Chain A
Amino acid sequence: MKDVKLMKGNEAIALGAVNAGCDGYFGYPITPQSEIIETLMEMKPWETTGMAVLQAESEIASINMVYGAAAMGKKAMTTSSSPGISLCSEGLSYIAGAELPCVVVNVQRGGPGLGTIQPAQADYAQAVKAPGHGDFNLIVLAPNSVQEMYDHVFLAYELAFKYRNPAMILTDGVIGQMMEKLVVDEAKPRMTEEFIRENYGSWALVGNKGVVTSLELEASRQEKVNERIQAKYKALKENEVRVEMTDCDDAEFVIVAFGSSARIAAKSVEILRAEGIKAGLLRPITLFPFPDKQLQDLAAKGVKGFLVAELNAGQMVKDVRLAVNGARPVEYYGRMGGMIYSPGEIAEALKEKLIEKTK
């Protein structure tokens, strides 16, 4: 039976974890995402589903606890915000290198350094390009609503286990802190030991004297490991891109934005349409894999230009330019440090940077 609730995005992540059959959550408090561990501690899922919840001594410990739990073939999770995610970098690299699934949530704040606790999208490049050392990628999802915060926990686990790779939900303080309606799906039971043995016994530690490691001293064998990992990313690009397009069918100008920015940009499209400008919105739901093809198709269809709106100094704009590959102008508009643009600001930027310039 479907249940309708009103809750914060952070609370939806916590409920999503329990209902997606998570086995172990390990986290450390940091604003603006502490409600996730607080909600879990209040829910006491260890008394219902048997899910373990532990407050670790640091984000370094959290991600390594996730590594240990993931090695057992279990659904493991940690959540943090920007500075804490930097501390998870080492562990994420080991988890990717050992080819284990897990889910990590980054409720971003403005930086660099301790920065601000207000929302930003400044960790885009970290999430999709350089989450740690050694040539690996995360699967990166970008929810734009409380509903998607919940749904993406399920999707993140599905993709993480399918590709045996860590998945990140990249969100921010706007989505984490705001309250919205949430339709709650029926909870999934946790995986049984038999299920793990049958389905994941080839890599998980199920008592068959397995070894989970990211160490390979022979360079020629390490190259094979890297090639296998890269092949997964290729498969992800071919099969798992998710994107939402609004008013793009007849659009002459397309705003590209993810997460909280996409909510604001949706309103910018309405403003522009009311003024007779044929604007559309492309919202990448997966940031890795990135919707290259969808952008190329729009450029080929006659879109005159793209405006990338993001709460950073211009990170995703580089990926859009790579995808469009010079076929059309790609401009950037952004705010930084926890400041947020209004729908009107983005609409004005589109007119100034694209329409006036292409006249």
Chain B
Amino acid sequence: MAEVQKTQENLVYAKPRLIKDNVMHYCPGCSHGTVHKLVAEVIEEMGMENKTVGVSPVGCSVLAYNYIDIDWVEAAHGRACAVATGVKRVAPERLVFTYQGDGDLASIGIGETVHAAQRGEKIVVIYINNAIYGMTGGQMSPTTLPGMKTSTSPYGREEALHGFPFKVADMIKVLDGTCYVTRQAVHTPAAVRKAKKAIRKAFENSMEGKGLSFVEFVSTCPSGWKQTATEANTWMEEHMFPVYPLGDIKDI
């Protein structure tokens, strides 16, 4: 097949300029790739590519610095909000965000997250909640749903044994240091458009010094959930959204 010449006329979609050419390690149907793309687009559109510092976590997105072409610092497991605090306090002119999963943020890093929010650090927290530890092979996380089977809850999560799913955004919203708390998803084109606006608002809040913005993405993990990409999207809508409903939770 002859290669089709790319021109302005036939170009309908392009990879964002700040997404690097490296092959992503994310599984098909995982939400990370789409959220990465939105973050890259917003940074480019705001003209902040040389002024942004991302803090990557330990988890599936540990290598986020291989994909988005900005300054990055890779934090220890759970410590991203503390690292971001250190960055922002000595470099207030920079746009600083953390990118964390539910194991990193809601489990081992909940203390750092709550205190950064309570202090009103002028940072953005991007929180990928797929209710499972993806990188280590599908263990139960604080946000795993009741009854959900994982490698450390092989008979399904039992509240009596493992406690309840952690609704982090609902807890974060009561802290006076937060200015914007929202729950988004990227499972449909309409959701993706909304999600991008949420990221933009959060980044603008941060540069206006309004406080901490918390953008949760209810996300899929087809490999961890042992589902196909499309099954995972449907399962998320049917099971995750009732526990983690989408929409703005706080906006001041």
* Min distance, Cβ A350 to any Cβ of chain B, angstroms: 46
Contact at B72–A213, with CB atoms within 8 Å?
Answer: yes
Q: Which of B71, B91, B111, B112 contacts A208 (CB 8 A)?
A: B71
Tell me, yes or no, whether A57 is within 8 Å of chain B by CB. yes
Q: Mark A52-91, 1 if CB is under 8 A from B, else 0.
A: 1010111011101111111110101000000000000011
Contact at A209–B115, with CB atoms within 8 Å?
Answer: no
Contact at A69–B76, with CB atoms within 8 Å?
Answer: no
Listed by A's residue number, 29 A-B pairs whose Cβ atoms lie within 8 Å are: A54-B85, A56-B85, A57-B111, A57-B112, A58-B111, A60-B82, A65-B82, A65-B85, A68-B82, A68-B84, A68-B85, A68-B86, A68-B87, A69-B89, A69-B90, A71-B86, A91-B76, A94-B76, A205-B72, A207-B51, A209-B49, A209-B69, A209-B71, A210-B71, A210-B72, A212-B72, A212-B74, A213-B72, A215-B74
* Min distance, Cβ B184 to any Cβ of chain A, angstroms: 26
Q: Which of B53, B63, B82, B89 contacts A205 (CB 8 A)?
A: B53
Q: Mark A132-161, 1 if CB is under 8 A from B, else 0.
A: 000000000000000000000000000000
Q: Mark B26-58, 1 if CB is under 8 A from A, else 0.
A: 000000000000000000000001110101100
Contact at A64–B111, with CB atoms within 8 Å?
Answer: no
* Min distance, Cβ A56 to any Cβ of chain B, angstroms: 7
Contact at A26–B71, with CB atoms within 8 Å?
Answer: no
The main secondary structure of chain A at its interface with chain B is mixed
Contacts of B88 in A (CB 8 A): 68
Tell me, yes or no, whether B70 is within 8 Å of chain A by CB. yes
Tell me, yes or no, whether B83 is within 8 Å of chain A by CB. yes
Q: Which of A62, A69, A214 contacts B87 (CB 8 A)?
A: A69
Contacts of B91 in A (CB 8 A): 72, 74
Contacts of B70 in A (CB 8 A): 209
Known: A68-B83, A213-B56. 13 other contacts (CB 8 A): A24-B90, A52-B90, A61-B79, A61-B112, A64-B75, A67-B79, A67-B83, A68-B73, A68-B90, A69-B89, A69-B90, A98-B74, A212-B72
Tell me, yes or no, whether A23 is within 8 Å of chain B by CB. yes
Q: Which residue of A lies closest to B62 (CB)?
A: A215
> Which A92-149 residues sit within 8 Å CB-CB of chain B?
94, 98
User: What 7 pairs across the A-B complex have the smallest Cβ distances?
Assistant: A68-B86, A65-B86, A64-B82, A213-B74, A68-B83, A207-B50, A205-B71
Contacts of B241 in A (CB 8 A): none
Q: Which of B51, B69, B70, B84 has the most CB of A within 10 A?
A: B70
Q: Mark A29-70, 1 if CB is under 8 A from B, else 0.
A: 000000000000000000000001010111011101111111
Number of interface residues of A (CB under 8 A): 37
* Min distance, Cβ B230 to any Cβ of chain A, angstroms: 31
Tell me, yes or no, whether B65 is within 8 Å of chain A by CB. yes
Tell me, yes or no, whether A4 is within 8 Å of chain B by CB. no
Contact at B115–A57, with CB atoms within 8 Å?
Answer: yes
Q: Which residue of A lies closest to B77 (CB)?
A: A90
Q: Which of B65, B74, B76, B82 has the most CB of A within 10 A?
A: B82
Q: Which residue of A lies closest to B80 (CB)?
A: A64
Q: Which residue of A lies closest to B93 (CB)?
A: A193
* Min distance, Cβ A66 to any Cβ of chain B, angstroms: 6
Contact at B72–A64, with CB atoms within 8 Å?
Answer: no
Tell me, yes or no, whether A211 is within 8 Å of chain B by CB. yes
* Min distance, Cβ A137 to any Cβ of chain B, angstroms: 19
Q: Which of B50, B73, B82, B89 contacts A71 (CB 8 A)?
A: B73
Q: Which of A61, A91, A94 has the most CB of B within 10 A?
A: A61
Contact at A213–B73, with CB atoms within 8 Å?
Answer: yes
Given contacts A64-B83, A65-B83, contact A24 B72 (CB under 8 A): no
Contacts of A62 in B (CB 8 A): 82
